[in-house]
Amino acid sequence: MSTHAPHDPSSGTLSYEQAGVNYDLIDPLKISAQRAAAATAVHMSAHGFTEVKASRGESAYVVDVGPFYIASIVECLGTKTLVADEMATLTGKSYYDGIAQDTIAMAVNDLITVGATPLVVQAYWAAGGSDWFGDAQRAQALVAGWKKACDVCQVAWGGGETPALAGIVEGGRIDLAASCTGLINPKERLSVGDKLGAGDAIVLLASSGIHANGLSLARKLTERLPQGYLTEVQPGLTYGDALLAPTTLYSPVTEALYKAGITPHYCANITGHGWRKLLRHPGQFIYRIHTVPPVTPVLKFMQQHAQQDDREAYSTLNMGAGFAIFVKADQAAKVVEIAKACGIDAWDAGRVEAGEKQLLIEPLDIRFGDDDLQLR
Amino acid sequence: MSTHAPHDPSSGTLSYEQAGVNYDLIDPLKISAQRAAAATAVHMSAHGFTEVKASRGESAYVVDVGPFYIASIVECLGTKTLVADEMATLTGKSYYDGIAQDTIAMAVNDLITVGATPLVVQAYWAAGGSDWFGDAQRAQALVAGWKKACDVCQVAWGGGETPALAGIVEGGRIDLAASCTGLINPKERLSVGDKLGAGDAIVLLASSGIHANGLSLARKLTERLPQGYLTEVQPGLTYGDALLAPTTLYSPVTEALYKAGITPHYCANITGHGWRKLLRHPGQFIYRIHTVPPVTPVLKFMQQHAQQDDREAYSTLNMGAGFAIFVKADQAAKVVEIAKACGIDAWDAGRVEAGEKQLLIEPLDIRFGDDDLQLR
């Protein structure tokens, strides 16, 4: 992340932190929570089980229950609903079918990184008041979109919570999250980093747009746009509509890979922190990218209007790549083929090498070092 | 629930709906969501598994994965944090250690009703802004209380989400929830209603106070109290402190029962809808209560100041009983003994009989019929 200097909203570089998220305040809590959480692992032995310790730094938590591993997660959508609400006012359309897919994607795309098959999703829909649910068109769009995303991922929608939280959630707003439980079965599918090695290929899967990360920045940017959300990104496509493209669901790809006999050595869901998520693995490796996917139009538009250089943009946004699969180099072409068969564009984009931890995006002459991503 | 008539906040009966929650707006969404969710069960067969259909109407969703069942859930705390925040202003104390226990209790106490051992909890802490986490005392209390509740329940704290949701969650507030995954192992522990029968005993376990349901009413009531939250419920105990007694965690009892060879025929977590939750089981049974536990002082206080008759109070609040365990009659005394050994008071409070579905609280001359609880 770049400068914290005060800025004029109408010009100059707009960074993620200027858009309102201050990780310096959240991180101390995160660290103390992670320590306390790690200390609870001992309880698994009372049940005859053990945790997979390496999963502590990964996107989903994994427990060894004998015949297979269980992975679980809870994920928040974030603030994408604020864009949907504003666009609904401007266009009269309801965007909550796509918003539902976004929410499930946040959980499912993280869960699959450890090699899990998502099995059950629970819905967490916390509204600012009972009246949120009184808008039948919007509520039904949320239900229909949730169901459809479950169908795409072949997960069971187990149930959930629909609390009305006046005084906690803002009036007219909804806080959306999803929890997901999955199995790693057979156990060989476990992917928590031990398999990654020099020579592996980095396959990047296309994103559909901004997905659900970077929305604070996206919203802030409307202050600079002549017609706000209705400014056109390209002829016939408004900025708001482009932002609201639902997040790609990647579990059909990871399941298809399994059926084809391919077990990824590692996976990274490219969400917050943009391409720096390619540095997620704890090992000492160089990630050398030789092919950069085309940048999704809405992200190119954002980069231009936020006046970000490539380094800033790739450090924050997915820039066209929503998910990374690390596999044996001789499987890369097959992974690309399988992803495309699932309707998701893909590129054999780079290689893993031994060496000091860093990401080299060669076509753009960008380097991110270990210091650029502190997640653990 | 009783009348919807307008009311003067300073006098007259105060019902739950007058306190701001309108189920009429939420229920149509719930029904359509339940239908859509049920239709996703077919996906389990793609993975070689099946859902436990009877769990659809229960508190947690259950999937049969072969060697055991997996149960999962996500639960919201509700608005108890608003009481904690107000009391923190009034007293300077932080109540978030107890609030953490409340949140975990919401998930764990529901999960165990189906016979599951809770294994992993995930934290969902969505704040109104990064600055919420900047109050180190409060944040650390939340972490410490969360850890302690995990220790009591012998669950692993897997991880979670700490998003900053300015614009969705109100500034200075936090939306707390927990997801929980557990195993029903051995499979004979599954408790989704098929075992319940005439002649079974109803054992009630003591609550610690209001727990985390009925808080809208509890907050509304402060308008009537001379010193608001600082009004004394009994000498030396303010209304606010009494409300903030953390919810009892019942999983130590259900686990101890299993170790003692006792498998409940059914369980009901007494939360929203108060004692009407004793009607949760879908079958045609009479639940005849002959012994009513002492009413927790704060609930007695609320009943008095809300000017509710017993029927209204028992239909909304737990009135001293936070959890119900239905067992073979000759095991009731042992269940009471085991609960007390866990530090939780308990009563062999009634019997299940064949007949038209109803709850008869004989000492209070109260009857609730099937129409009084519509959850499915």
Strand order in the sheet with B346-354: B266-269, B321-327, B201-206, B346-354, B285-289, B358-361, B366-369
CB contact under 8 A, A122 and B73: yes
Half-sphere exposure of A68 (CA within 13 A, CB side): 20
- Residue A12's pLDDT is 73
- Residue A294's pLDDT is 98
For residue A23, list chain B residues with Cβ-Cβ distance below 8 A.
Answer: 130
pLDDT tens-place string over residues B122-164? 999 999 998 999 899 999 999 999 999 999 999 999 999 999 9
pLDDT tens-place string over residues A101-112? 999 999 999 999
CB contact under 8 A, A168 and B158: no
Q: Please state the rounded mean pLDDT for residues A11-23.
A: 64
Strand order in the sheet with A117-127: A50-51, A61-64, A69-76, A174-184, A117-127, A156-161
- Residue B199's pLDDT is 98
For residue A16, list chain B residues with Cβ-Cβ distance below 8 A.
Answer: none
How far is residue B309 from each of residues B12, B306, B313, B366, measured CA to CA in Å?
Answer: 11, 9, 6, 10
- Across all residues in chain B, what is the average pLDDT? 93
Q: Do A289 and A360 meet the contact criterion of CB atoms below 8 Å apart?
A: yes
- Residue B248's pLDDT is 98
- Across all residues in chain A, what is the average pLDDT? 93
- Percentage of the residues of chain B whose pLDDT score is greater than 70: 94
Would the pLDDT of A246 be above 60?
yes
Q: How near does any CA of chain B get to the CA of A8, in Å?
A: 21
CB contact under 8 A, A181 and B70: yes
- Residue A7's pLDDT is 38
Q: Please state the rounded mean pLDDT for residues A24-47.
A: 90
pLDDT tens-place string over residues A158-185? 999 999 999 999 999 999 999 999 999 9
Beta bridge partners of B203: B325, B348
Work out the pLDDT band at B6, boundaries 50, 70, 90: very low
pLDDT tens-place string over residues B188-227? 999 998 999 999 999 999 999 999 999 999 999 999 999 9
Q: How near does any CA of chain B get to the CA of A291, in Å?
A: 33
Distance CA A157, CA A115 (A): 20
CB contact under 8 A, A130 and B78: no
- Percentage of the residues of chain A whose pLDDT score is greater than 70: 94
pLDDT tens-place string over residues B81-95? 999 999 999 999 999
Q: Are strands B321-327 and A237-238 parallel, antiparallel or unpaired?
A: unpaired
Would the pLDDT of A197 be above 80?
yes
Q: Do B326 and B198 meet the contact criterion of CB atoms below 8 Å apart?
A: no
Q: What's the complex ipTM?
A: 0.94
- Residue A11's pLDDT is 59
Best mutation target among B65, B131, B179 (most A Cβ atoms within 10 Å) is B179
Label residue B223 exposed, middle or buried (CB < 10 Å: 0-12, 13-18, 19+): exposed
For residue A269, list chain B residues with Cβ-Cβ distance below 8 A.
Answer: none
Q: Please state the rounded mean pLDDT for residues A323-337.
A: 98
Would the pLDDT of A374 be above 80?
no
Would the pLDDT of A10 be above 60?
no
Q: Do B70 and A119 meet the contact criterion of CB atoms below 8 Å apart?
A: yes
pLDDT tens-place string over residues B178-190? 999 999 999 999 9
Instruction: For chain B, list the domains and their CATH numbers.
Output: 23-189 (3.30.1330.10), 201-372 (3.90.650.10)
Beta bridge partners of A177: A76, A124
CB contact under 8 A, B162 and A26: yes
For residue B129, list chain A residues with Cβ-Cβ distance below 8 A.
Answer: 20
Q: How near does any CA of chain A get to the CA of B73, in Å?
A: 7
- Residue A303's pLDDT is 97
Q: Report phi then psi at B228, rounded to 5.
A: 55, -135
For residue B60, list chain A residues with Cβ-Cβ distance below 8 A.
Answer: 159
CB contact under 8 A, A30 and B167: no
- Residue A375's pLDDT is 58
pLDDT tens-place string over residues A296-324? 999 999 999 999 999 999 999 999 999 99
For residue B172, list chain A residues with Cβ-Cβ distance below 8 A.
Answer: none
Q: Name the closest residue on chain A to residue B17, using Cα atoms.
A: A130
Nearest CA among B162, B157, B227, B90 for reference residue A29: B162
Would the pLDDT of A198 be above 80?
yes
For residue B158, list chain A residues with Cβ-Cβ distance below 8 A.
Answer: 37, 61, 63, 72-73
Would the pLDDT of B21 be above 90?
no
Q: Do A196 and A266 meet the contact criterion of CB atoms below 8 Å apart?
A: yes
For residue A37, list chain B residues with Cβ-Cβ distance below 8 A.
Answer: 123, 147, 156-160
Q: Name the closest residue on chain B to residue A26, using Cα atoms.
A: B133
Would the pLDDT of B289 be above 90?
yes
pLDDT tens-place string over residues A342-368? 999 999 999 999 999 999 999 999 999
Would the pLDDT of A8 be above 60?
no
Best mutation target among A65, A114, A181 (most B Cβ atoms within 10 Å) is A181
Helix/strand/coil (H, E, C) string of B306-328? CCCCHHHHHCCCCCCEEEEEEEC
Q: How near does any CA of chain A get to the CA of B338, in Å?
A: 19
Q: What is Dmax (Cα atoms) for chain B?
A: 62
- Residue B374's pLDDT is 67
CB contact under 8 A, A161 and B43: no
CB contact under 8 A, A166 and B20: yes
Q: How many CB pairs under 8 A join A and B?
A: 280
Written as six digits, the tokens of A346 are 């893909």
Would the pLDDT of A14 be above 90?
no
Work out the pLDDT band at A9, boundaries 50, 70, 90: very low
Distance CA B126, CA B122 (A): 13
Work out the pLDDT band at B23, boundaries 50, 70, 90: low
Would the pLDDT of A26 be above 90?
no
Q: How near does any CA of chain B get to the CA of A76, in Å?
A: 7
Q: How near does any CA of chain A get to the CA of B289, in Å?
A: 30
| Start-to-end Cα distance in chain A | 17
Q: Name the closest residue on chain A to residue B118, using Cα atoms.
A: A47
Q: How near does any CA of chain A get to the CA of B79, in Å?
A: 6
Work out the pLDDT band at B76, boundaries 50, 70, 90: very high
- Residue A18's pLDDT is 60
CB contact under 8 A, A162 and B30: yes
Work out the pLDDT band at B372, boundaries 50, 70, 90: confident
- Residue A57's pLDDT is 81
Q: Name the closest residue on chain B to residue A117, using Cα atoms.
A: B47
- Residue B28's pLDDT is 81
CB contact under 8 A, A165 and B56: no
Would the pLDDT of B263 be above 90?
yes
- Residue A3's pLDDT is 30
